[in-house]
Structure 1
Amino acid sequence: MPSDLDAPGLKRRRNRDGTERLYWMASKAALAAGFPTRIVRLHHSADDPSQHRLIEAACKRFEAEALAWASGRKETRRPFDGTLASLVRLYQTDLASPYREVKWNTQRTYDQVLGVIEKAFGKRSLAALGITDFRRWYDEAKKPKSPGGVERVRKAHGIISMLRRMFAYGVTAELPECGRLLTILEKARFKQPARRRQKLELHHVQAFVVKALDMGRLSLALGTALQFETTMRQRDVIGEWEPVPTGAAAGGIVLGTRRWMRGLTWADISDTFVVMKVTTKTGSDVAHDLSLCPLVMNLLARVPTSQRIGPLIVDETAGRPYAEHAYAREWRLVARAAGIPDSVWNMDARAGGISEADDAGADLDAIRSAAGHSQASTTVRYVRGTIGKSRKVAALRQEHRNKS
């Protein structure tokens, strides 16, 4: 990092490939005063002298806003200059923006897409945009990473979806041109990414459990069995690491600046092996009788009574809940050893459990309730390649013919 840069708050991070990313970070004093923006990605290169002034200007602007906030002028709406970049900044920082209401990990995902939009199209004036621009951006974003590769429809559709969110916010904030652009995108249709068709089936789970135990990974075996048998989401089983709020006491299980939350603990399992949980995504209450899940019961029996305290799923190598991404990474190592195709993911355990229930003829509303879905239409999306209902329909039709 050049030492002659006058850029307060400038930080750098390196990717795994060694490339450098630049960020502006708010000071502890500004965050303690409640400044709503902790970090901003800078799409510049410190290795290019022609971009040094841009880096300095951006850092000074963000620093001035943070200092103004800390001094008592808590205006969150930054000036709107009619460009897409200024709309991005308002969407991220305005306290009236719906961006402020989504979870921290959703904000992180949004920030990645917003960074792409700001870097690629930020200088464009909203007044000059139209359907031709959106179609061109979508087509460019969906191009394969390399010639002959798979089209990146999910990335392209994600950009369009984010534009819709921003323009919808702009309408509520009474920003010019947003109403017109939102109407265009609401009427336009863009190809969506195909739904996943893969599912983790019972034979996959059985093979995984055997191999995980052979490799000394009881935690992975138990977590997978729970996901499949109860149809709970991964994060509801293993928990997640969320940032410790500014000024909050860092109690509980803390790793760096993050605190483990919302995973299953031994206290969640009753003496009769009923587990009750408030789901992280919808806030629904779900309950499961683990005594009816032999895969799970056999694995629970392997845990000594003296160790049945705290988080249920603990990384054997670290002695604490799995760090972010570590569960999926270690799970894949065991899955490959067990012969499970790379196209089948850990997250497909939920679809596998729901599909098995549908195949067994379970009532759709009962499956919906067990999975913690608020709508049956959501449950239907998890049903993949089942034939149980089709067989039942065929049998009823045959019975009807025989009666006739």
Structure 2
Amino acid sequence: MPYEKSPTPGLKRRRQQKGHALYWIAREDIVKAGYTPKSVRLHYADTPEELPLISAACQRLQAEMLAWSAGAKQDYKSFDGTIGALSRRFQIDDESPVQGWKYNTRRSQLYIVGTIEEAFGARALTALGLKDFRRWYDAAKLPKKAGGLERVDRACKIIKMIREMLRYGVAAELDQPQCIRLLTILESTEFKTAKRRRSRLEHNQVVSFIVEAVAAKRISLALGTAIQFETGMRQKDVIGEWEPVRAGEEPTGIVLRGRRGKGWRRWCNGLTWADLGRSMVISKETTKTGAIVSHDLKMFPLVTGLLAQIPAEQRIGALIVDETAGRPYAEFAYARDWRVIARAAGIPDAVWNTDARAGAITEAEDAGAELDTIRGSIGHTQASTTARYSRGAIGKSRAIAKQRSAYRNGENKA
């Protein structure tokens, strides 16, 4: 979004030990007349991607200040009991859980918060009840286009975020009786959830994909897919991600300058050639749970066969690179380019690259591995999570069928 389309009245940057912080500053003449707050810390990254959020916060605060000056006497520290006021405090309060979110989580989750505020911001908490939440859920899940699929996942995310905002309202003592009342209603109510994914990437599909990717000279796509499938590692832990470099920080490491004035981004969290070392054993802290997973890549012929095709002079920096750009894959580019090769390999569009993890877990269970052993190898903290990734495993069913057949034939009878 161009800067001129995202006004930021009152925005100031204050120097800190590391970089600078963003603040909305009230007009001096209005402050002298008694207006508070004089300033509000904005907990956003100073990047073009978060500019719309910065702009929205500045415009809300500016409007409140001007309304107070005109006689409305609104105050940031007061709470008017609306969804909009709860949303605002949820986003900018130093004690809000929002401040602990990663940049990419904050970007996606605050988009949902913005949707809630835009649709229901004027509603008073005292006037809300179960019927309202049901109506909001039903409206949110309507198809984007007539005849399309219901957007159940979207509706569930909105309800989940309202719960989060109300929990914050209880903790921050913002009209606790109403927040507790509404939170109790939501936690006592079931909403239809989106169906879990059932697709998985299978070994024969991976082999076909590798053949097509190598032929197209996209060996990194082949290698990334092979590692994902053989180890069960998440896509992000294999190919990495780009995080914004905050203003004032030195853009070191593998960095990328955005187009049209966008700030620097630093590549992180992906596998590097240094991670492989001479032993070909990788040990990595996963981005989601922080668990340490280790894999001996020498045990995976699909991986070693591809590694052998990469010249020694190219074995530096990120392991998975976009050959067309000469750097790690930009956001969404990996999935986009992967789909092109997948279609050439005959892999249905319903099967995604991220389904490689489900494929790895399902194949492992089919091979007779215990669920808890699989859980440990891929870094899940709970076996129930691993079980959700096992999609259509038949190994245990076959083992039981053999035992029952043996019993019927008298082989296992005392």
Q: Structure 2 length as normaliser, TM-score?
A: 0.83
Residue aligning to 1:250: 251
Label 1:234 to 1:56 Cα distance change in 2 as closer, same or farther (>3 A): closer
Looking at structure 2, the residues matched to 238 and 300 of structure 1 have their Cα atoms a distance apart, in angstroms, of: 15
- Where relative contact order (Cα < 8 A, 6+ residues apart) is larger, the structure is 2
| 225-234 or 138-147, larger mean C-alpha shift | 138-147
Residue aligning to 1:16: none
Gaps of 5+ in 1: 2-9, 14-21, 45-53, 65-76
The equivalent position to 2:400 in structure 1, one of 369, 393, 404, is 393
CA contact (8 A) 1:199 1:352 kept: yes
Residue aligning to 1:329: 336
Residue aligning to 2:3: 11
Cα offsets for 1:17-47 (capped at 9, x unmatched): xxxxx46484444781464333464799xxx
User: Secondary structure of the residue that 1:260 maps to in structure 2?
Assistant: strand
Q: Aligned-pair distance for 1:270?
A: 2.7
The equivalent position to 1:363 in structure 2, one of 366, 370, 387, is 370
Residue aligning to 1:36: 42
Q: Aligned letter for 2:124?
A: S
Q: Aligned letter for 2:236?
A: R
Looking at structure 2, the residues matched to 282 and 345 of structure 1 have their Cα atoms a distance apart, in angstroms, of: 22
Cα offsets for 1:222-270 (capped at 9, x unmatched): 0111110011001100000011134322211111221101100011113
Label 1:228 to 1:123 Cα distance change in 2 as closer, same or farther (>3 A): same
Label 1:61 to 1:267 Cα distance change in 2 as closer, same or farther (>3 A): farther
User: Secondary structure of the residue that 1:320 maps to in structure 2?
Assistant: coil
Q: Aligned-pair distance for 1:210?
A: 0.6
User: Secondary structure of the residue that 2:3 maps to in structure 1?
Assistant: strand
Looking at structure 2, the residues matched to 63 and 278 of structure 1 have their Cα atoms a distance apart, in angstroms, of: 46
Looking at structure 2, the residues matched to 173 and 150 of structure 1 have their Cα atoms a distance apart, in angstroms, of: 38
The equivalent position to 2:62 in structure 1, one of 52, 60, 63, is 60
Instruction: Give the paired residue count.
Output: 367
Cα offsets for 1:305-344 (capped at 9, x unmatched): 1211111001111111011111111111111111111111
Residue aligning to 1:268: 275
Residue aligning to 1:68: none
Asked if 1:186 is matched to 2:192, the reply is: no
Gaps of 5+ in 2: 23-40, 45-49, 67-75, 258-263
CA contact (8 A) 1:11 1:24 kept: no
**Root-mean-square deviation (Å):** 2.5
Looking at structure 2, the residues matched to 78 and 327 of structure 1 have their Cα atoms a distance apart, in angstroms, of: 45
CA contact (8 A) 2:8 2:54 kept: no
Looking at structure 1, the residues matched to 21 and 352 of structure 2 have their Cα atoms a distance apart, in angstroms, of: 42
Residue aligning to 2:155: 156
Cα offsets for 1:82-134 (capped at 9, x unmatched): 11111111111112111111211111110111111011111111111111000
Asked if 1:374 is matched to 2:384, the reply is: no
User: Secondary structure of the residue that 2:104 maps to in structure 1?
Assistant: helix
User: Secondary structure of the residue that 1:255 maps to in structure 2?
Assistant: strand
Q: Aligned letter for 2:198?
A: R
Q: Aligned-pair distance for 1:80?
A: 2.2
Label 1:230 to 1:32 Cα distance change in 2 as closer, same or farther (>3 A): same
